[in-house]
Amino acid sequence: MKKYIKNFSLEEVEQIFASINEKSYRAKQLFNWLYERNVDNFNTMTNFSKKLRQYLTDNYEISALQLIDRKKSNCDGTEKFLFATHDNHFIESVFIRNDGTDEGRLTICVSSQIGCPMGCTFCETAKIGFKRNLECAEILDQINKVRQLTGLKNNNIVFMGMGEPFLNYDNVMKAAAIMNYTFGFHISVRKITISTCGIYEGIQRFIDEKMPYNLAISLNDTDMVKRSRYMPVEKKYPMQNIIRLLDVKFPVSRNRVTIEYVMRKDNISEEDAQRLKSMFKYNRIKLNLIPLNKGKHNMEIPVEEEINKFIKRLEIMNIPISIRKSAGSDIDGACGQLSGRHYL
């Protein structure tokens, strides 16, 4: 069975080429073809000999995903893509033309797992359960395919699609490194955000290994009893332990940690605001407030007046606060709406 060439780092490709007596610089040329020029056929690589092209064709595959469906929002131009994997599972990726905070931002929201094991009650991905981790090639191919289909080059990546990235740590970090390569996708580390619902060991490893990417943590409740009801991860990895870890280990020199907070009708009270103010060191965080999106849940969605009152209560924190626009909600492409379901 052929291997996916996008599963290999630059160093690994250099080793492959060395084993067949090819110069190491060919690896950078290959990466340029794969990620900058975005080709899906080895025979297109005209600066390679016919023999090398044949070797690559005989032993490796370029594309790891197949497009099944594509939907475009009538509200904001957001696009959602449904892809099939080689073993007949389905994942979704979202292309957002801007997120309401930066008019020049082109973001691809990528998935890291097929399904998700975390069981968050407000998330549609959780309802399909966990199937498996995505390979590095399947993560990267989401970007390749979206760029091919839209004709646009994104300048921002968020690991906020299907799955928990820190439960697929090695493949996610390998893919993020390739995204950052100057001869690959060439996306700044400051434009790559990895989001977690709170996997303690993953956060600790991320900090210890000095990963340069932005870190986002989904909080969503200040009452930890309530959080454990909506987010079962709280039972295994209490948020208070993660907060202590950040206080001790997270470097002051780093970008602030983004705290993501999905606003429901029952978690934006004055008490919630007061607890949120006391939980974190102000110089370490920024808040990303996300209005709850429609889904197959029984939670009440707050009205604009309630959201504005909550924001006003938080202003005293004197930290960056952003409201994430619900891009693609009319095509089930917004936060918490991805399901990877293939509707025939």
Provide the annotated active-site residues. Answer: 92, 335
Distances (CA, A) of 274 to 243, 268, 313: 16, 10, 8
Angle (deg, nearest 10), helices 200-208 and 239-249 = 10
143 vs 95: CA distance, rounded Å: 9
Torsion from C-alpha of 121, 127, 131, 134, nearest 10 degrees: -60
For residue 303, how far is the Cα from the chain centroid?
28
38 vs 145: CA distance, rounded Å: 9
Please give the angle made by the CA atoms of 156, 157 and 163, to the nearest 5 degrees. 160
Instruction: Break the chain down into helix, strand, coil percent, rounded to 5.
Output: 40, 20, 40
42 vs 49: CA distance, rounded Å: 11
Query: What's the token pair of residue 210?
Result: 């000095």
Torsion from C-alpha of 321, 246, 120, 272, nearest 10 degrees: -50
Q: Is 186 left (phi over 0), alpha (psi -120 to 50) or beta?
A: left
328 vs 337: CA distance, rounded Å: 9
Is the CB of residue 223 less than 8 Å from the CB of residue 272?
Answer: yes
218 vs 259: CA distance, rounded Å: 6
Checking DSSP bridges between strand 107-109 and strand 113-115, what pairing results, if any? unpaired
Sequence-ordered list of residues with C-beta below 8 angstroms from that of 39, at least 6 positions apart, any chain: 33, 45, 62
